Structure 1
Amino acid sequence: MNFNNFGFKKYVNDTLQDLHFVEPTSVQQKVIPLIKKHKNVIALAHTGTGKTHAFLLPILNNLNFEQTNKVQALIVVPTRELAKQIYDNVKPFLKHEPRMSVGLYIGGEDIKKDQEALNKNQPTIAIGTPTRLKELYVLDALKLTSANYVVVDECDMIFDLGFIEDVDFILAKMKKDLVLSFFSATINQQLQQYLKKYIKESFFIDDSQSKPTNSNVKHLLIDTKNKELELTLANIVKSINPFLVLIFVNNKNDVSKIVTILRKQGIDHIGELHGDLQPRTRTAMLKRVKNNEFKYVVATDVAARGVDIEGVSHVISINLPKDLSYYIHRSGRTGRNKLTGISYVLDNIENKDRIQQLTDQGIEFAVAKFVDGHLTEVKAKVKKKRQVELDQESQKVLNKYKNTKIKPGYKKKRKSELDKIKKKIRRKHIQESIDKIKKGKYKKRREKLFDE
């Protein structure tokens, strides 16, 4: 199947030809015909599956160019970066259809400039973050209630970032007969209830199982032997020659820790992407990253969702996120546009359980360890009984300290408890070995007795 089979208008097909789009992805094949026929859609799909064009193409095809000074489509997204990316995906279509206009409305930009522009002309397609769209509506600047199509993209992230009330406000103002689409990587119970509130009749598309990750990405577990993070990261840096590395941490407070470790390795120019950056600083930083000013960028998951950065050769997850769908987004930053990439995960006690969960979900990990300072791929070994027991007992101790208030000297106490577990399991296995030897001796003695 190719894009010509969808029966798009000439300007859409001409632009697709310019972009060298030939074959639609799985989610595009499923979603495009539905939105094109004005059907409501709830789609479960991961980053890198082509979902942006899955909703853009049918909307672009169905626009009415006799009503150009009127909002016909509204696209709501959780982050400025994703909004800009979708905006950039629409712009190529303006070349073949100049009557269309597109507006970008995000926090961190001058709202007065947005008002002045909107007073002169309303965009055909409005793209923005929830709070800024709401503000412009309240100011009577953006006439978004005329939209025939509304798309809420990455709606699970909208929930996570606390923007759902703003989205709720916007949707409550829209006309009843609009075509509504929700796209998400995950749908939990809370989100499910929310979707039921707005979509009574819809088509549910589950494309999450078609392929959990990009086939151009190699997933590699780094056997750290539970060594210090600084040593492990230093060894990785010495072992790779990257074009661009994204290093992911779960907490924005850990960004500075990783930056310090990298600087000790002689890396001076390091990019940072996290939620504490001011809007203008974050925009400028992302622009610098895309201009290839850095080889190493340390980021929280705000940079993983939907943001397309070209040339990412390596991704490193220092720790795995609680919501494992974020790992799919992280690893999906590399191996794009037919290029190959590697996603490293540190195989330590903290990540153990989540690595197993990812494996159960279909991620195939290769295993590597450091041999004479070089990262070398090895065959995965079957865990011995002692190691399994050690991991389980150790994880209980780690969880115990994770869920309690941290007190002075907790690291020393935690280490003492972990050492006791090792000794206990070692003693157990020594005793099992002694019992086995005794049993063997007794068996030999008994056999000798019967032989006589």
Structure 2
Amino acid sequence: MSFKDFNFKPYIQKSLDEMKFTEPTPVQQKLIPLVRSGRDLVGESKTGSGKTHTFLIPIFEKLDENDKDVQAVITAPSRELARQIYQAAKQIADQSETGIRIANYVGGTDKLRQTEKLKSSQPHIVIGTPGRIYDLVKFGSLNIHKAQIFVVDEADMTLDMGFLDTVDKIAASLPKQVQFLVFSATIPQKLQPFLKKYLTNPVIEQIKSETVIADTIDNWLISTKGRDKNAQILEIAQVLQPYLAMIFVNTKERADDLHAYLTGNGLKVAKIHGGIPPRERKRIMNQVKNLQFEYIVATDLAARGIDIEGVSHVINDAIPQDLSFFVHRVGRTGRNSLSGTAITLYQPSDDGDIRDLEKMGIRFSPKVLKDGEFQDTYERDRRANREKSYQKLDTEMIGLVKKKKKKVKPGYKKKIQWKVDEKRKRERRAEARAKSRANRKAKKQTF
């Protein structure tokens, strides 16, 4: 199927051609017709599936450029994601000969200036974080009472970050006939009350990807046992020589520590986490886009919503506390059919989490960095698998094998091995005798 089969407005099709969008993704192919129909929708789909244009294109298709009122409101849980949606919307609007007003309202920007501008005109499309949008609505500056479409993007992340109550207040300010579009990577149970409160007979679509992680990604697992992790990451980073590598950590404190260590060792490293002021984050993101860094140390804030082009490698400093973030982290590389490499550092206590990830369909290749190159190594659970293959020993043999002595007598191991061998010989002889008796019995029954 081609985008041209949708028969969009000429300027929308022109913008798609400019972006070299020819065929819709599975999410777009299935959900765009539903959004155009006016139905409320809950779309569950993984990161990188094309959700943004799934709701943006129908919004522009329905937009009345001559109407002076706000016609669509889009909330996003982070400033970076809101800005990304805003940039995507601008790419479409720029192809229109009629002026389309799009506003991006996020925290950390000049609210007074935004309020003054709203006195003269209202935007056609509002994009922003819940807190700033609601502030402008609450003080009567932003008029959304005639909006026709309300989009809640990354709803699960909105819930996790504590913004759902604010989104609820925005929704309460909208007209009853507004079309609700909720997009999310997962639909947690705590989101259900909000959906039941506002959505009317919604279409619920779950678009399953064929693979949890793109086929273009090499997914490696490296043990940190007995190693200084900072030094290990430095060594890995230096060997990789990436176009751009994202190093994910679990806390702001760890991000600060690792960033200081890597920059102190001469690497060009950016740092992104929620504790960095908005203007500083914006400056850093611009520097990243201008390729002023080779590495980015980031918390999971950057794993969801921020689309940084050209990420060739992802390094997980540790397995994320929320395992669902693992897919979002790794999904920063291997995009647009390009190859990528994801490296996850682990310790023995992480085995349970790794098994849970494997149950999700994620496959790891165990590696070791040796002599300046990555080499295949043994499976992490090879010992457990080997023990399973042993013949079951009786209580006496188990006692001998597991017995520990501070002073081991000469030949003690040989003695244990001899005992084990003798035990197995007896078992084999007993099996042979039993088989012989069974054969003799069968012959007697024949005659």
TM-score range, shorter chain: 0.7 to 0.9
| Structure showing greater Rg | 2
Residue 192 of structure 1 pairs with residue 192 of structure 2: yes
Say whether the 8 Å CA contact 2:168–2:194 is kept in structure 1. Answer: no
Which residue identity is paired with 1:437? W
Mapped partners of 1:83, 1:145: distance in 2: 21
Residue 271 of structure 1 pairs with residue 248 of structure 2: no
Q: Which residue number corresponds to residue 418 of structure 2?
A: 437
Give, in angstroms, the shift of residue 227 of structure 1.
2.5
Mapped partners of 1:94, 1:72: distance in 2: 14
Q: Which residue number corresponds to residue 332 of structure 1?
A: 331
Q: Taking structure 1 as reference, are residues 195 and 357 closer, same or farther at Cα in structure 2, changes over 3 Å only?
A: same
Q: Which residue number corresponds to residue 302 of structure 2?
A: 303
Give, in angstroms, the shift of residue 104 of structure 1.
0.6
Instruction: Choose 6-15 or 47-56, whichever is displaced more.
Output: 6-15
TM-score between the two structures when normalised by the length of structure 2? 0.86
Give, in angstroms, the shift of residue 446 of structure 1.
9.9
Q: Which residue number corresponds to residue 103 of structure 2?
A: 103
Q: Give SS of 1:351's match.
A: helix
Q: Taking structure 1 as reference, are residues 137 and 385 closer, same or farther at Cα in structure 2, changes over 3 Å only?
A: same
**Cα-to-partner distance string for 1:150-173 (whole Å, 9 max, x where unaligned):** 000011111111111110100011
Say whether the 8 Å CA contact 1:317–1:346 is kept in structure 2. Answer: yes
1:421-432 to structure 2, matched below 5 A, reads 427=402
Which residue identity is paired with 2:346? D
Q: Give SS of 1:75's match.
A: strand
**Cα-to-partner distance string for 1:66-95 (whole Å, 9 max, x where unaligned):** 31x211111000011001100100112223
1:134-153 to structure 2, matched below 5 A, reads 134-153=134-153
Mapped partners of 1:204, 1:281: distance in 2: 39
Give, in angstroms, the shift of residue 298 of structure 1.
0.6
Q: Which residue number corresponds to residue 443 of structure 2?
A: none
Q: Which residue number corresponds to residue 201 of structure 2?
A: 201
Give, in angstroms, the shift of residue 35 of structure 1.
0.5
Say whether the 8 Å CA contact 1:245–1:296 is kept in structure 2. Answer: yes
Q: Which residue number corresponds to residue 49 of structure 1?
A: 49
Say whether the 8 Å CA contact 2:319–2:346 is kept in structure 1. Answer: no
Mapped partners of 1:298, 1:174: distance in 2: 39
Q: Taking structure 1 as reference, are residues 94 and 387 closer, same or farther at Cα in structure 2, changes over 3 Å only?
A: same
Give, in angstroms, the shift of residue 209 of structure 1.
4.2
Say whether the 8 Å CA contact 2:313–2:342 is kept in structure 1. Answer: yes
1:218-233 to structure 2, matched below 5 A, reads 218-233=218-233
Which residue identity is paired with 1:92? Q
- Cα RMSD (Å): 2.8
Say whether the 8 Å CA contact 1:48–1:214 is kept in structure 2. Answer: no
Which residue identity is paired with 2:287? R
Residue 34 of structure 1 pairs with residue 34 of structure 2: yes
Q: Give SS of 1:143's match.
A: coil
Mapped partners of 1:211, 1:439: distance in 2: 46
Residue 166 of structure 1 pairs with residue 144 of structure 2: no
Mapped partners of 2:33, 2:230: distance in 1: 51
Give, in angstroms, the shift of residue 436 of structure 1.
5.6
Q: Which residue number corresponds to residue 284 of structure 1?
A: 283
Mapped partners of 1:153, 1:432: distance in 2: 64
Residue 369 of structure 1 pairs with residue 368 of structure 2: yes
Q: Give SS of 2:382's match.
A: coil
Return 5+ residue gaps in structure 2 as ranges.
389-398, 406-411, 434-447
Which residue identity is paired with 2:421? G
Q: Taking structure 1 as reference, are residues 86 and 445 closer, same or farther at Cα in structure 2, changes over 3 Å only?
A: closer
Say whether the 8 Å CA contact 1:235–1:374 is kept in structure 2. Answer: no
Q: Give SS of 2:348's match.
A: coil
**Cα-to-partner distance string for 1:391-431 (whole Å, 9 max, x where unaligned):** xxxxxxxxxxxxxxxxxxxxxxxxxxxxxxxxx9x946999
Say whether the 8 Å CA contact 2:70–2:125 is kept in structure 1. Answer: yes
Residue 124 of structure 1 pairs with residue 105 of structure 2: no
Q: Give SS of 2:235's match.
A: helix
Identity of aligned residues (%): 37
Q: Taking structure 1 as reference, are residues 141 and 359 closer, same or farther at Cα in structure 2, changes over 3 Å only?
A: same
Say whether the 8 Å CA contact 1:15–1:93 is kept in structure 2. Answer: yes
Q: Give SS of 1:195's match.
A: helix
Give, in angstroms, the shift of residue 202 of structure 1.
0.5
Residue 237 of structure 1 pairs with residue 237 of structure 2: yes
Q: Which residue number corresponds to residue 352 of structure 1?
A: 351
Residue 11 of structure 1 pairs with residue 11 of structure 2: yes
Which residue identity is paired with 1:89? A
**Cα-to-partner distance string for 1:23-58 (whole Å, 9 max, x where unaligned):** 111111111000011011101111111110111111
Q: Give SS of 2:99's match.
A: coil
Mapped partners of 2:306, 2:221: distance in 1: 24
Mapped partners of 2:387, 2:51: distance in 1: 40
**Cα-to-partner distance string for 1:326-374 (whole Å, 9 max, x where unaligned):** 1111111112233221111113224322222221111222221122242
Q: Taking structure 1 as reference, are residues 249 and 285 closer, same or farther at Cα in structure 2, changes over 3 Å only?
A: same
Q: Which residue number corresponds to residue 383 of structure 1?
A: 382
Q: Which residue number corresponds to residue 246 of structure 1?
A: 246
Return 5+ residue gaps in structure 1 as ranges.
390-423
Q: Give the length in aligned residue pairs.
A: 415
Q: Give SS of 1:364's match.
A: coil
TM-score between the two structures when normalised by the length of structure 1? 0.85
Q: Taking structure 1 as reference, are residues 343 and 443 closer, same or farther at Cα in structure 2, changes over 3 Å only?
A: closer
Q: Which residue number corresponds to residue 155 of structure 1?
A: 155
Say whether the 8 Å CA contact 2:369–2:375 is kept in structure 1. Answer: yes
Q: Taking structure 1 as reference, are residues 434 and 153 closer, same or farther at Cα in structure 2, changes over 3 Å only?
A: farther
Mapped partners of 1:186, 1:326: distance in 2: 11
Give, in angstroms, the shift of residue 112 of structure 1.
0.9
**Cα-to-partner distance string for 1:133-188 (whole Å, 9 max, x where unaligned):** 00101121111121100000011111111111110100011111111011111222
Which residue identity is paired with 2:343? Y
Q: Which residue number corresponds to residue 315 of structure 1?
A: 314
Q: Which residue number corresponds to residue 392 of structure 2?
A: none
Mapped partners of 2:266, 2:386: distance in 1: 36
Which residue identity is paired with 2:224? T
Say whether the 8 Å CA contact 1:319–1:351 is kept in structure 2. Answer: no
Say whether the 8 Å CA contact 2:46–2:209 is kept in structure 1. Answer: no
Give, in angstroms, the shift of residue 380 of structure 1.
4.0
Q: Which residue number corresponds to residue 82 of structure 1?
A: 81
Say whether the 8 Å CA contact 1:319–1:350 is kept in structure 2. Answer: no
Q: Give SS of 2:293's match.
A: coil
Q: Which residue number corresponds to residue 262 of structure 2?
A: 262
Instruction: Choose 332-341 or 250-259, whichever is displaced more.
Output: 332-341
